[in-house]
Chain A
Amino acid sequence: MNKFLIGAVAVLSVGTLVSSPALADQRKHVSVAGSSTVLPYANIVAEEFKKAFPKHKTVIASGGSSKGIKLFCQGLGEATIDVANASRKMKEKEVKKCAEKGVKEIIEVRFGYDGIVFARDAKSEWKNFALTPKDVYLALANVIPVGGKLVANPNKTWDQVNPAFPKWKITAYIPGENHGTREVFEKKVMRAGCKEVGGEKLHHAAVVAAGKVTAEKKIKKAAKKLCYKVRTDGASVDIAGDYTETLGRIDSNKQGIGVFGLSFYENNTDKLKVATMSGISPSVETISTGKYPVSRPLFFYVKKAHIGKIPGLKEYMEFFTSEKMIGEDGPLAEYGLVPMPKNEFDELNAAIKAQNVM
């Protein structure tokens, strides 16, 4: 029985040793989590940050904007993360939840813009590859207005959408619901197209006729949501994975069209041909001037309460927002980040210095 007892004691002691908080001494690294879109930028910053401040450590975890914010809002203290990366603005609901858990002072940092592009395989033939939100809507929406009535999308090939297009079967690989990119796709492409062809008005009328909601605000919201609906007959494919998966799909289906981030496209210009949107071709210049319509800001959020407690957090935040990183000649712009205009940049840096909270 002795050996057994010794074994049991050993197991227990390992267990208690492991769980004793004494071993978990003060955290020495900046802990970041969140958006997979922001991740490559944060990685580059972390790498350069390490060169500039060899003593400070960072850990950048991925997982998506929503998960990052959820972790961020778990509370204060070493066990929680310091920075949440997000490819969208924090929602009011999330801010409220954060405050409930004690995370009241949040520094919001908008560090640049990301463009969203439509691209096809570089080897396929589509002369004058020019899309408009209207084309995309007519190709991908679940229902479209035909003769003043909403009908299930009858378009099978692109030339039915627009006679200038080739006779390709419509297949589009769009970001799944878990991506921040999807939101931009819905708002800036689907809804814009929906409005243009009068779909939103018809949806509005339909919601009113259904009579389930009566408040004007709610009706508008419902109509807007209906505009976002993509078809479910296989012409529109949700990609839950990353852009590499979308690239793989396009590689195997030469007549497919994919939605990418500008930075991903810039790293694969030899494999992808990008579409102009309403006549504007996407580039850092056209996005920063606002000419190219489909773009969104990128964010990270910092817990003010952790500044001064976690070594390197303040330096990380200031380093990230420095001209050297997010400026026009910085490595982030080289990767595909669209830098902010000068006035926004100055505003941001003043806010960072003052550590203004939301």
Chain B
Amino acid sequence: MEAQEVQKNMSNDLSTHSAEVKRRMSKRLKKRQAAEKRFQFYGMAAIFTGMMFLVILFTTIISKGWPAFLQTSIQLNVNLDPEIVDPSGERNVDKLMQANYTKIARTALYAELGGKPKNRKTRKLMYKLLSRGVDVQIRDVVVADPSLIGKTVPIWLYAHGNVDALLKGAIDRNTENSSRLVKDQQLEWIDKLVASGKMAKQFNWGLFTHPASSQPETAGLGVALIGTFFMIIIVLLLAIPIGVAAALYLEEFAPKNRVTDIIEVNINNLAAVPSIVFGLLGLAVFINFMGLPRSGSIVGGLVLALMTLPTIIIATRAALRAVSPSIREGAYGVGASKMQTIFHHILPLAFPGIMTGTIIGIVQAVGETAPLLMIGMVAFVQDFPTTPMEPATALPVQIFMWATSAERGFVERTAGATMVLLAGLFVLNAAAVYLRRKYERKW
């Protein structure tokens, strides 16, 4: 009876307070909900800011870079005069390589523009409409098909970088003649050639196939693409087996003691070491001590592999740890040995994580220039490497070198090459996402 009374009193008390409590509760609830809303807003703002910067970055790069995929050329009827190309008539390739093709190109240009100017200065202005690399273009045509010698063939020849820049708007027509890089007289010729359809912008395949060049119009990413490819292969071949083996041992077999602790701390430290330090190491160990060739993509690959190792080890260990203990226990339960458990059950399940880590590591390595500076890969290389032992450059290196060049045409090419690099990185990152999705298993 008493107890009931007390309860009643309490509930009375409560009910008198209940309005107050409810009010407070709803206030608190509102506060909590507002906090959640605010947090969501902060998150969205953060994403929005990030996206905005990304959009700004992409629009500036793409708006600056797309002209790099076009190149102005001039179509000329080139007379492959045997007197100049092959006076001996032997069709000897070595001799064909040495002929004065510049003269042939200039003669064709003079003919197109109404005769060779008498004045030396005018003549110079005229032939400077053409790139310094046109001789190689004609040479390649002749060497590929010597039967053309003696004939007149129409060939699209590269226009000078400044002419190209003018047509793309990078050089302003309205600046005064004295300071403009393309002179009034040249403008006249250019307008004439454009009007007759002899000068036009074409897709710039050379951007992907040409080696480095001192002139923007003949500069390409050829050597850099090959060098980057070789380095990716070397990184894959070295860093994955070593990294995964190290991670497996540390995670599954190694005893927990001071030595393994030290190793673990050092691996994590290694991931934070500035990349130029790896370049110094590469110079000291691979070039000076082992005698590997300077500027070779093998050294670059080795240095980048070392750089990627910590990333792969850390990612692999995390992936191994993420495999559910029940899998391990199940395997032990049916009598599998430790090796069998790891290789038959754990490793396949950790695979998507390992792949993601590896690809992120490689993406990082592909974008590196600093370590390559020390080993002589930031260089002007004109010869296509056929093995990793030969000198090569890499994509970011080429971007860096173009960014520091004085000619106007390199500005757009820098952005264009950045677009190529970004496209490559995008493909790699997409591959990482795809692999993870495909092999990811839920339990």
Interface residues of A (CB under 8 A from B): 1, 3-4, 7-8, 10-11, 14, 18-19, 21, 23-25, 27, 29, 31, 33, 36, 39-40, 42-44, 46-47, 50-52, 54, 57-63, 74, 78-79, 81, 122, 241-244, 263-264, 267-270, 273, 331, 335
Contact = CB atoms under 8 A, between A and B. Distances in A.
A129 to B, nearest CB: 13
A38 to B, nearest CB: 11
Interface in B401-434: 401, 403-408
A62 B302 CA distance: 21
A273 B374 CA distance: 36
A27 B237 contact: no
11 contacts: A24-B292, A24-B293, A24-B389, A33-B376, A33-B379, A36-B404, A61-B380, A78-B291, A81-B376, A244-B404, A268-B408
A314 to B, nearest CB: 19
Contacts, number: 129
Interface string B330-365: 000000000100010000000000000000000000
B437 to A, nearest CB: 27
B86 interface: no
A44 B214 contact: yes
Across chains A and B, which 7 residue pairs bring their CB atoms closest together, nearest first?
A: A61-B379, A60-B380, A242-B404, A43-B214, A267-B406, A59-B391, A264-B406
A242 B302 CA distance: 29
Interface stretch (B25-33, B59-67, B238-246, B270-278): B238-246
Interface of B: 94, 97-98, 132-133, 135-136, 171-172, 175, 178-181, 212-214, 237-238, 241-242, 245, 287-288, 290-295, 298, 302, 339, 343, 373, 376-383, 389, 391, 401, 403-408
B179 A122 contact: yes
A111 to B, nearest CB: 16
Contact of A79 (B237, B287, B380, B404): B287
Contacts of A241: 404
B290 A19 contact: yes
Given A11-B242, A24-B291, A81-B294, A59 B389 contact: no
B339 A1 contact: yes
Contacts of A18: 290, 292, 298, 302
Nearest to A269: B179
Contacts of B403: 244
Contacts of A40: 214, 405-406
Contacts of A4: 245, 339
A268 B245 contact: no
A24 B292 CA distance: 6
B181 A270 contact: yes
Contacts of A21: 290-291
Nearest to B401: A62
Nearest to B120: A329
Contacts of A242: 404
Contact of A267 (B181, B376, B383): B181
A39 B294 CA distance: 18
A202 to B, nearest CB: 40
Nearest to B290: A19
A31 B293 CA distance: 10
Contacts of A269: 178-181
B406 A263 contact: yes
B379 A60 contact: yes
B406 A270 contact: no
Given A79-B288, A268-B406, A50 B382 contact: yes
B295 A31 contact: yes
Given A54-B97, A270-B180, A63 B378 contact: yes
B373 A63 contact: yes
B406 A61 contact: no
B122 to A, nearest CB: 15
Given A61-B379, A241-B404, 15 more contacts: A7-B241, A10-B241, A21-B290, A51-B136, A52-B98, A58-B380, A60-B379, A61-B377, A62-B380, A79-B293, A79-B294, A81-B294, A243-B404, A269-B178, A269-B181
The interface centre, meaning the residue of A18, A39, A81, A273 with most chain B CB atoms within 10 A of its CB, is A18
B214 A244 contact: no
B301 to A, nearest CB: 9
Contacts of B293: 24, 27, 78-79
Given A29-B391, A52-B98, A62 B379 contact: yes
